[in-house]
Structures are given as structure tokens and as C-alpha cells.
Amino acid sequence: MRDYRVGAWGALLRAAVGGVWLFEAYPQISSSSAYLSQGFAAAVQAMAAGTPWQAYRQFLLSVVLTHASVFSYLTLVGNALVGLCLLLGLLTPYAALAGILLNVNYALAAGWMDRMNYPLNGLLIATEMVIIAVGAGHVAGIDALFTASRPRSARRY
């Protein structure tokens, strides 16, 4: 039997990490026309110019910048969806996994720009792993509504 206290703390952690993602997505959403038109490309150029990771610099220049319009929408929607899904407890393990992938990319792209970027991304990666491990969507989340009606043997996480 699941300990409700672990689930409640996991749900609180899940909601807090979702709030962080939404907090980071808000400036992109509030000025989406500027972000999508030139803000994203300018940010990626600045990141590529200074990143110490040569392979990642090549990825930013040859893939991300050449398809900047696609990647700008992907990051805008991705940040908002990860935050919203974690906050609501919807598709929690998938949202946390997407958050891990985004955090790894953000650490590689912009970690050198500010001393807090690497630790913040590392902390978010660790908390997203905990969210997956404890099944944080099963308490106070939309995932709980779907798993409560399924037999325990049919649950995936």
C-alpha cells in the first residue's frame, strides 16, 4: 500500500516544479510575437557564441538556427506544456521526462552564461527524476483520476 505522505510530498514537489516551468514560460508567452520572430534566434546565437561545448555549438548553429521558427514554437509550447502538465498532474512521468530533456539542453546551451544555470538545471533534473520515481501524479493530480479506476495490475507506474 502506498504511503499517502510520500504521495502528498511528491504532489507538492510536482506542483512546485510545474510552477517553475510556467514561471520560465511566462515571458515567452506574454511577448510571444517578439520571442517567435527574433528573440529566440538572438538568444540561440548568443548561446552558441559562448558555449564551451563544441559539439553542442555545432548543433545550435547547424540545426537549431537553421530551423529557428520551428524550435522557437517547440520551446515556447514545450515549456508551457511541461509546466501545465506537472502542475495539474497530467501525464506526469512523460512531462517530467520532457522536462529532463529540456533541462539537459538548456544546461548545455546556456549553462556558461550564469553561475546558477548549471545548478538550477541539475536541481530540476533531480526533482523530475524523483517525480517519476515516486509516481507523483497519483496524488492530487489528473493522473490519479485515471489510475484509480484501473486495477492495480494494469497500472504502468
Contact 113, 52 (CB under 8 A): no
Cα–Cα distances in angstroms (integers) from residue 92 to residues 44, 95, 124, 132, 135, in the given order: 29, 5, 14, 7, 8
Q: Quickly state the pLDDT bin for 1 (edges 50, 70, 90).
A: very low
Taking only the tens place, the pLDDT of each residue in 19-64 is 999 999 999 999 999 999 889 999 999 999 988 999 999 999 999 9
Q: How many CB atoms lie within 10 A of CB 85?
A: 24
pTM of the complete model beyond 0.85: yes
Taking only the tens place, the pLDDT of each residue in 86-122 is 999 999 999 999 999 999 999 999 878 888 888 999 9
Q: Quickly state the pLDDT bin for 126 (edges 50, 70, 90).
A: very high
